Amino acid sequence: MHGTRDNLASSNVADVFNSIMNMAGFGTTVIVIILSSGLAQRFGKKSVILVGFILAALNAFAYFLLSPTNTTGMLLLAINGSLVYAPTIAVAWAMYADAADYSEWQTGRRFTGMVFATICFALKVGLALGSAAFLWFMAGFFDYDTRFPEAANAVKGYHFSSSIFVGLLFVGGAIAIACCRLNKTTTLKMAEELAERRRLASAR
C-alpha cells in the first residue's frame, strides 16, 4: 500500500487529470460563447454578467466541499463553471464599447481609444498583480514556502484559493457590476440619442 502511494505521488496522473479538466472547460467555454450571442439582446449585458458572476461564485464555493478524490465532481464543476461564466466573456467586451458610448453621451466627445487602452492596461496590471497577490496570500495565511509546494499547509492554501477565494472575487465582481449604471434601458436610450446626434451632425 505504501509503495502504491509512492508510485502515485511520483506519477503524472494529477497533471493528466488537470489537463482533461482544462480541455473540458475550454471546449465548453468556446461552445457556450458561440451559442449565447442572443442572451445580451434579450436580457441586457449587465444582467447577463451579473447572473453569470453570481452563479460562477456559487460554483467556485462548491469546489471547497469536494473531497480530494472526487474527480467526477471536479470535472462536473469545471464544465458547469464554464457554462455559467462563458457568456460573460464576450458580453464584457461589448460592455466596454458601451462605456465608450457613455462617455460620448455624457460629454459630447468620443474617447474610444482611451477607454480601451485603459481597460487593456488594467487587464495587464491585474494579471501581474494577481500572480503576486496569490503568493503574498499563500505566504501570509498559509506559511507557504516555494521550496515545499507539497506541504500540508500549502495544499490547504491551494484548496482555499481555488475555491473560496475565487468565489469571493466573483462576488466582488457581481457587486461592482450591480453598481454599474449601464443597464439595458440606459444603453438603448443612449444608442438612440447618439444616433440622433450623429444624424443631425451629418445633415449640417
Q: Determine the structural domain holding residue 50 and report its residue range.
A: 2-203
Q: Cα torsion for 144, 149, 150, 152, to the nearest 10°?
A: 0
**How many H helices and E strands in the chain?**
9, 0
The C-alpha cell that represents 15 in the structure block: 497533471
Q: Is the pLDDT of residue 124 over 80?
A: yes
pTM over 0.75: yes
pLDDT at site 7: 53
Q: Is the pLDDT of residue 2 over 50?
A: no
% of the chain residues with pLDDT over 90: 50
Where residue 146 falls among pLDDT bands split at 50, 70, 90? confident
* CA 190, chain centre distance (Å): 27
How many domains is the chain partitioned into structurally?
1
| pLDDT tens-digit map of 54-99 | 999 999 999 999 998 899 999 999 999 999 999 999 898 888 889 8
Residue 75 belongs to domain with CATH number: 1.20.1250.20
CB 57 within 8 A of CB 174: yes
Mean local confidence (pLDDT), 5-29: 79
Q: Is the pLDDT of residue 3 over 50?
A: no
